[in-house]
Amino acid sequence: MGAAPVAPVAIVMGSQSDWPTMQRAAVMLDALGVAYDARIVSAHRTPQRLVAFAQGAEGEGFKVIIAGAGGAAHLPGMIAAMTHLPVLGVPVQSKALSGQDSLLSIVQMPAGIPVGTLAIGEAGAANAGLLAAAILATGDAALAERLKAFRAEQTAAVAERPA
């Protein structure tokens, strides 16, 4: 029996309640044939799990990390502080402040520890999936072709006039 296949993308989120949003990243990766591993890792409720994940991510074989959280969203920044892998941050739309809090928590990183921050909510999660695939595609010609085909299909689906 061979070793279990390694997923190049980790999708992590602060809570089960983030999954409906973060699933949009998973859907994109599924469509592009990119394997991922989705996990709940909370910066505040499971800090030890956060440290273990971030410090072990490279060793697990991940190449890109997508991290989504809402409210006081420290997850992407804390992961970025503990790994050299690229971290894409998704601000999940919060109830109290509509995700403005999540966005500002994630985007305003100090110089030296980057988090590539996407839009608030589902669009951001979908684009995080696409961006993760684009990063991987720089070293994977077949994936680059699948990404081009995805764009071409998207373009073809836009009608010239409204129905």
Of 54-62, 68-76, 124-132, 144-152, which segment contacts ligand RP5 by CB under 6 A? 68-76
Is 122 among the residues that bind ligand RP5 (CB under 6 A)? Answer: no
Q: Contact letters (x/-) for ligand RP5, 26-55, by CB under 6 A?
A: ----------------x-x-----------
Quote the longest CA-to-CA distance of the chain: 55
Three-class secondary structure of residue 27 per DSSP: helix
Site for ligand RP5 (CB under 6 A): which residue of 15, 23, 105, 117?
15
Judged by CB under 6 A, the stretch of 11-19, 28-36, 52-60, 155-163 that binds ligand RP5 is 11-19
- Number of chain positions touching ligand RP5 (CB under 6 A): 10
Report CA torsion sign: 120, 72, 87, 112: positive
The reply, when asked if residue 17 is annotated as ligand binding, is no
- 126 with 25: CB under 8 angstroms? yes
Binding piece for ligand RP5, criterion CB under 6 A, among 64-72, 76-84, 106-114, 138-146: 64-72
The residue among 108 and 149 lying less far from ligand RP5, judged by its C-beta, is: 108
Query: Is 91 near ligand RP5 (CB under 6 A)?
Result: no
Residue pair 74/105 in contact (Cβ under 8 Å)? The answer is yes
Residue 115: exposure state from Cβ atoms within 10 A (0-12, 13-18, ≥19): buried
List all residues 6 or more positions away from 77 whose beta carbon is below 8 Å from its beta carbon.
89, 105, 106, 109, 113, 115
* Interface ranges with ligand RP5 (CB under 6 A): 14-15, 17-18, 42, 44, 69-71, 92
